Amino acid sequence: MNQPLSITVGGASPYDVLVGRNLLEQVPSLLSGAKKVLIVHPVGLAVSAEALRDSLVEAGFEVVLAGVPDSEDAKRIEVAAFCWGILGKSEFSRTDMIIGFGGGAITDLAGFVAATWLRGVGIVQIPTTLLAMVDAAIGGKTGVNTTEGKNLVGVFHSPKGVLIDLETLNSLARNELIAGFAEVVKCGFISDTRILDLIESDIAQATDQGSDLFLDLVTRAIRVKAGVVAEDFTEQGLRETLNYGHTLGHAIELAERYKWRHGAAVSIGMVFAAELAHLNGRLSSGAVQRHRDILSSLGLPTTYPADKWPQLLANMRIDKKARAGILRFIVLDEIGKPTIMHSPTDEILFTAFQEIAQ
């Protein structure tokens, strides 16, 4: 049996994140106490989900599949209701469990379904995209989108465990992998600056999912997320730093009707936040340029159309991170030292946007 690296996410309901290769054989050990299991998966992963189901049936579980739309189309209350219907018809009890098998949208949805069915049943997350591995599947944030914004309906619900099998990335499209790197880079800018050094040292190896460097980067990003979540599960302060680049990023996703990849939007959001910090006298011009250089070297976008600013500003004001309509941005005092900027003026926001406008 392959021996994974185990990273513990502490807090009131601690759990382990298992990281390695060829780990799916270890899933049954994470389902202790359950008789029935619902696997929530995107329809595009139906074959892989069926193989996982067959292995769990062989291990003695009753398994039901719930094929749902891919990406953000999955994060709708109608899709959650579809999953609730399956759970009801299959007579799932409080001791039964759900598996989220897919990208970040799927793990968000599955977690929300688990948190709300019978006021909370167990969830095991098996992320299959880089974005989900280093961010969405870890931390217990769940949610669905509405027409008014992203993740406005949700609940905190810790998983029983997270299993990260890097082999599941082998079939992931290259652009999806690169989009996920935005969250890895984010962890470098807000905490573990060694991540940035390693990416700069060898882009090819850094983005090769079969390399030891790739495993190191993923592990480092997970440790950053795990450390923050353990200290601030319900986002009362420290956990907000994980939203670096996300305020504008979510506004872009809404403007694009969720057709953009999350990582691409966050990439632009990080450059915007860096420009905002620079205008506020917090961050050097060299640090701002380092944002552009690293993200551009990965093939991630760093600019956005100039004429979209009014819509983006309106979108940011309804983002869940705004309080009483007052915007708050995670910015850097220097690389590796995040802080909160309260109530920046419309003028400074507009000026910062001009630096990324195309």
Catalytic residue among 41, 145, 183, 253: 183
Catalytic residue among 36, 157, 262, 291: 262
Catalytic residue among 243, 253, 261, 278: 243
Backbone angles phi, psi at 331, to 5 degrees: -130, 175
Catalytic residue among 58, 78, 91, 119: 119
Catalytic residue among 41, 160, 223, 250: 250
Q: Alpha carbon of 222 to those of 111, 176, 218, 278, 346: distances in Å?
A: 18, 18, 6, 28, 35
Tell me, yes or no, if 291 is annotated catalytic. no
The single residue listed with the structure tokens 């601690």 is 14
Angle, helices 262-279/346-354, rounded to nearest 10 degrees: 120
The CA distance from 89 to 96, in Å, is 14
Catalytic residue among 36, 160, 235, 261: 235
Tell me, yes or no, if 262 is annotated catalytic. yes
Tell me, yes or no, if 194 is annotated catalytic. no
CA angle 36, 99, 32 (to 5 degrees): 55
The single residue listed with the structure tokens 């450059």 is 271
The CA distance from 16 to 6, in Å, is 6
Which residues, in sequence order, are CB contacts of 43 under 8 Å at separation 6+? 67, 68, 69, 70
Tell me, yes or no, if 148 is annotated catalytic. no
Tell me, yes or no, if 183 is annotated catalytic. yes
Catalytic residue among 41, 75, 76, 141: 141
Catalytic residue among 246, 278, 291, 292: 246
Tell me, yes or no, if 235 is annotated catalytic. yes
Tell me, yes or no, if 119 is annotated catalytic. yes
Active centre residues (catalytic):
119, 141, 183, 225, 235, 239, 243, 246, 250, 262
